[in-house]
Structure 1
Amino acid sequence: MSGLPVASIKELSEKHPKPSDIKFTYGTAGFRTLASVLDSVLFRVGILAGLRSKKLDGKTIGVMVTASHNPEQDNGVKLVDPRGEMLESSWESHATTLSNASSTDEFISALEAFVRDAKIDLSKPARVVYAMDTRPSGPALVSALEDGLRAIGADGRNAGVTTTPILHYLVRAINTKGTAEAYGDDSEDGYYTKLTNAFKKLVSAKPTPSPLLIDCANGVGANAAKKLAEYLGDTFSLVLENTSITAPGALNNACGADFVKTTQKLPSSLSNIIKPGQRGCSLDGDADRLMYFHLDDRGQFRMLDGDKIAALVAAFIVELVKAAGLDESIKVGVVQTAYANGASTKYLAERLPVKCVSTGVKHLHHAAEHYDVGVYFEANGHGTVLFSPDTLAKLADYQPSTPAQSTAVEHLVNLTQLINQTVGDALSDMLLVEVVLAHKAYGGLEWDSLYVDLPNRLVKVVVADRHIFKTVDAERRLTSPVGLQDKIDSLVGKYEGGRSFVRPSGTEDVVRVYAEAVVKSQADELAFRVAGLVYDETGGDPATRPKEFL
């Protein structure tokens, strides 16, 4: 007898049969696919979340129903661990296994084996907080999730329609309530109050920032930005665009952070609104990515991506730590992936340690935890800053010897409150950027000119089997297919400032080729020539070789 409530699970599971022809995979962003096939997954995730909570002695687990920057017809779900961090990676494979059990009986057998092998004490309580974004598929999927929570006997708290970062915040706030590590009041009000109080303190002696244009991606960030504006009051004015959260098909459609990053242009809906010299930013569909932009004095669009945000923020924190007299005891570091622009890496490496890790938020987050203050931003605009427990203690106990040191320490303490350290948070990061711009008296032009991006190109090559591509050195070099890296190296050497790497996608049978060079036309040419090597290596028919793969 396993102690599982088998009858309850069996009865409710029959309402959520698994589609027979689909294999689900829990990846870095959880489960992601068409909303129409996710019903069984949500039910099983409800049970898994309850078991995760029991395994962790009743700590509250988070579940977020969202597909972030994806089109509206997609949806997804991910679990959040007690400190607001991503699900422990060893449980990703368990989530995948349970989601693919073909029948209720097979699912129950898999559950029994999992409970036994993971040594889960079923007598422990289970607590789960969950939320969803604005997708029309959300309510039905949440209903399936609630059936899963009911089946395993978990206490559920519905946080309603909210951003992914707010759900992460709530998880940590709930689990640290009443402790020395209390993260904030476990409510949306607590989130907005924490952020805006810190922001107001940080800009109190500075001129009022000019209004900021925000592209809300027609997603849940529109709701959150509107509430944030109310809490900010006269301190900072937000101009909200793309706020059509109920218009069919509008979510992330030709707008949002992913659109701006991949197309490197303004959403057309903003082209008649933004003026030269004005700054703006784009959120993605669940408000965990942020992309800034401005028009230069010639009216040309200029993108300020995650690399530019990391450079601005990291350099500012280094200056504050030095001004506080803490540069010997608090070390600041930056974590990037191979997709970071080479110019940003050079700029940062001249100022502080820079580490390159494999693509994926979990790799960046874990590496950032090894610094006293770890800054990480993917080029796509997802990132945050982590302050270690030791660093927080040092800031709390430090006795400054001058007024300047005292001010710098106060700023650092307020930054720890402004920054959502659980996950990338577009609204928190936006306020962080605005603080730095206010302190440096920068506009978009001054920020953009910290360094000049190397021209780059990203190309996708469809392959029969992406698994033959194996990488090392934070995905910057190939070990398989054998000999391909030597050919890439030979090509790269022919271009001034050349850099290129090849990595398989984590979710589809494509290989991504990234290339940089000093001149745009050469970056394009290098990318396509490397793509041609990849195509040839995988046995592509020369007659069907895409013409741009030179």
Structure 2
Amino acid sequence: MDLEAVSKRSAFHAKPQGLILQYGTAGFRTNAQHLDHIMFRMGLLAVLRSKQTKSTIGVMVTASHNPEEDNGVKLIDPLGEMLAPTWEEHATCLASAEEQDMPRVLTAIMEKEAVDPQQAAFVVIGKDTRPSSEKLSQSVIDGVTVLGGQFHDYGLLTTPQLHYMVYCRNSGGRYGKATIEGYCQKLSKAFVELTKQASCSGDENRSVKVDCANGIGALKLKEMEHYFSQGLLVQLFNDGTEGRLNHLCGADFVKSHQKPPQGMEMKSDERCCSFDGDADRIVYYYRDADGHFHLIDGDKIATLISSFLKDLLLEIGESLNMGVVQTAYANGSSTRYLEEVMKVPVYCTKTGVKHLHHKAQEFDIGVYFEANGHGTALFSEAVEVKIKRLAQELQDEKGKAAKMLASIIDLFNQATGDAISDMLVIEAILALKGLTVQQWDAIYVDLPNRQLKVKVADRRVISTTNAERQALTPPGLQEAINDLVKKYKLARAFVRPSGTEDIVRVYAEADSQVSWEQGRRNHSCVWNLTTAKGFFKIEIKIECTGTYIVNSYQTVPCCGFLRV
């Protein structure tokens, strides 16, 4: 391995002096003009990871739901999973190294991870539709080739599609063909097999409007439409022909603002959904006859999927270990419905899909979704083999249920959350169960809730435990929250620091809007903190409107229900 050649090539991708970026849950993300050196170095790291695992590694150039001027990169591990935590640390270290330290840092990674420099390496690369993605993906390729790695550039892909390709390549073909055609054929065949068994075939159950966030999802849905056109009519909006990526549209916008995206016409009771910029998140929504907007987020998606899977297992007569994985942001009504009505065990993990994915792998069938709409279902290899065998052996209604379960296993992208795959799963289930979007929404009623984020001087003064639902520090914070929420029925609140920036995130819910109004008048909790960066005050106060976020250097108006 020629580290001198690496140093010479790195000079063409020089790091701005003093710039420090951290590899977060979804990799690196920032303004695209600061990323050239990051991309080159992640190409280097992908080669080392490939050599260590003796597997294909993926590199995706995307910033998901970030604005168009941003970009980012994340590495994909052998089974289509997020990069292992220890290698996240290597990524941060390598990205932050000054030019003269590059050979030393690379050598240290190789020694710590026992990387054989003679081992072959193969990397697959994908990118989204951002104007900066083409140039930045070439910087990745430069990093791969200077270390002698081989690569395949898939070009424009959704993020989940690249996860799928990596999984296919490392499963020896068991999971599928590592091509766009293979992806389209696998999902569409499973979808058609499912929907042709639906008893209801009216147009109201076969049409969905899709907001593609002016991103890659539109391009890939257009490529795929003809595969399932007889089972579903898809109307695309914000397809990239006009408008900016993620601007006033997309899953993150709809979820955060609780309103429809710009550029989509909605009639009452029409079924609509939004992808995010790289098509790994999805949320559904509709307007009722009175014009009120209804959001159906990841919690209700997980509930619909779990209910369907459990019904099929009961019909087949199989007792498998099934669990649902959520985060602290899951609405309390969804958790109670799953546990008390459906009798399905629910587990809570730290925020970040890598945590949910790993927990879901512990079950025969694991369903996980973040409230933001990122999620999927996982099936153990033993379960897949068993169900597909039963689909061939069983007759009558049991055989029909087994065939449906075998098809839906193929319809999920088990590498990661996938908006296209999840949309087809949801549409198939609604058709098979004969549910309208309103009936789906009415399964349970969400508790009123609010989220906000607050810029602070040092997020590290707040630490958490119990899947980020309880504060350990500063002293007195959790006690103050407990005193506040116990005054209201079904109330819950938590404060957690961001994993990548000096922001504190706050979530609260209660049984009714009335509780919030009472809190606005009657209750608040205040405490002072002193940090290395100075003094600031944190205040939690339940309010309806006119609230303010205050710290030592910033006071900004906010429309949330909590003051921090």
Same fold (TM over 0.5): yes
Q: Distance in 1 between matches of 2:48 and 2:282?
A: 33
Task: Look up the equivalent residue of 2:12 and give its one-letter code.
Answer: K
Q: Distance in 2 between matches of 1:268 and 1:253?
A: 8
User: 2:335 matched to 1:345?
Assistant: yes
Aligned pair count reads: 536
Q: Distance in 1 between matches of 2:88 and 2:171?
A: 24
Structure 2 counterparts to residues 239-388 of structure 1, below 5 A? 239-244=235-240, 250-270=244-264, 273-327=265-319, 330-350=320-340, 351=342, 352-388=344-380
Alignment match, 2:6 = 9
- Structure 1 residues 62-93: Cα deviation after superposition (integer angstroms, max 9, x where no partner): 00000000100111000001111111111000
Query: Residues 43 and 308 (structure 1 numbering): CA distance in 2 closer, same or farther, change over 3 Å?
Result: same
SS at 2:66's partner residue?
A: coil
Q: Distance in 1 between matches of 2:131 and 2:224?
A: 24
Q: Equivalent of 1:143, from 138, 143, 160?
A: 138
Which structure 2 residue ranges, 5 or more long, are not aligned? Answer: 538-549
| More divergent stretch after superposition (483-492 vs 456-465) | 456-465
Task: Report the alpha carbon displacement of residue 393 of structure 1 after superposing the two structures with TM.
Answer: 2.5
- Structure 1 residues 407-431: Cα deviation after superposition (integer angstroms, max 9, x where no partner): 1111111111000000000000000
8 Å CA contact 2:449–2:508 kept in 1: the answer is yes
8 Å CA contact 1:84–1:172 kept in 2: the answer is yes
SS at 1:422's partner residue?
A: coil
User: 2:78 matched to 1:82?
Assistant: yes
Query: Residues 186 and 298 (structure 1 numbering): CA distance in 2 closer, same or farther, change over 3 Å?
Result: same
Which structure 1 residue ranges, 5 or more long, are not aligned? Answer: none
Q: Distance in 2 between matches of 1:440 and 1:318?
A: 13
Task: Look up the equivalent residue of 1:146 and give its one-letter code.
Answer: I
- Structure 1 residues 125-152: Cα deviation after superposition (integer angstroms, max 9, x where no partner): 0100001000000011011111101110
Task: Look up the equivalent residue of 2:329 and give its one-letter code.
Answer: Y
Q: Equivalent of 1:67, from 63, 66, 87?
A: 63
Backbone CA RMSD of aligned residues: 2.1
8 Å CA contact 2:325–2:369 kept in 1: the answer is yes
User: 2:90 matched to 1:94?
Assistant: yes
8 Å CA contact 2:484–2:524 kept in 1: the answer is no
SS at 2:431's partner residue?
A: helix
SS at 1:461's partner residue?
A: strand
8 Å CA contact 1:42–1:77 kept in 2: the answer is yes
Task: Look up the equivalent residue of 1:354 and give its one-letter code.
Answer: V
Query: Residues 514 and 116 (structure 1 numbering): CA distance in 2 closer, same or farther, change over 3 Å?
Result: same
8 Å CA contact 1:515–1:524 kept in 2: the answer is no
* TM-score using structure 2 length: 0.91
Query: Residues 455 and 371 (structure 1 numbering): CA distance in 2 closer, same or farther, change over 3 Å?
Result: same
Structure 2 counterparts to residues 7-86 of structure 1, below 5 A? 7-57=4-54, 59-86=55-82
SS at 1:234's partner residue?
A: coil
Alignment match, 2:420 = 427
Query: Residues 525 and 17 (structure 1 numbering): CA distance in 2 closer, same or farther, change over 3 Å?
Result: farther
Query: Residues 298 and 128 (structure 1 numbering): CA distance in 2 closer, same or farther, change over 3 Å?
Result: same
- Structure 1 residues 424-472: Cα deviation after superposition (integer angstroms, max 9, x where no partner): 0000000000111011111110000000000001122222111011111
User: 2:159 matched to 1:167?
Assistant: no
SS at 1:14's partner residue?
A: helix
Query: Residues 318 and 101 (structure 1 numbering): CA distance in 2 closer, same or farther, change over 3 Å?
Result: same
Q: Distance in 2 between matches of 1:505 and 1:25?
A: 12
Query: Residues 503 and 291 (structure 1 numbering): CA distance in 2 closer, same or farther, change over 3 Å?
Result: same
User: 2:143 matched to 1:153?
Assistant: no
User: 2:114 matched to 1:119?
Assistant: yes
Task: Report the alpha carbon displacement of residue 21 of structure 1 after superposing the two structures with TM.
Answer: 3.1
Aligned-pair identity (%):
45
Q: Equivalent of 2:474, from 471, 481, 496?
A: 481
8 Å CA contact 1:461–1:531 kept in 2: the answer is no
- Structure 1 residues 5-40: Cα deviation after superposition (integer angstroms, max 9, x where no partner): 123212211100011131111111011111100000
Whose strand proportion is higher, 1 or 2?
Answer: 2
8 Å CA contact 1:456–1:523 kept in 2: the answer is no
